Amino acid sequence: MANLSDRTVRYALKILKERGFIKEIVLLGDARKRVYALSSKNVEDVINGGLFKFPLEFDAKL
């Protein structure tokens, strides 16, 4: 796993949620924990390079 700071991960998750690539799910057993899943409407965009260019370079223009 990458050694990214918590702040960096939170920011990346925020961007992905805002753009509709992922959705956040609150666990019923422990509301403090979150699970993230790909949004079904954007799975093809992610697979086809809608968010990333290969080799995995983040496209900041999105």
Per residue of the chain (62 residues), give pLDDT as tens.
Answer: 568 898 998 999 998 888 888 888 888 888 888 888 887 666 666 666 555 554 545 555 54
CA distance linking residue 62 with residue 51, whole number of Å: 7
Other beta carbons less than 10 A from residue 21's beta carbon: 20
- Check residue 37 and give its pLDDT: 86
Domain ranges of the chain: 6-58
- ∠56-59-60 over CA atoms, to 5°? 140
- Check residue 7 and give its pLDDT: 92
Q: What is the pTM of this model?
A: 0.58
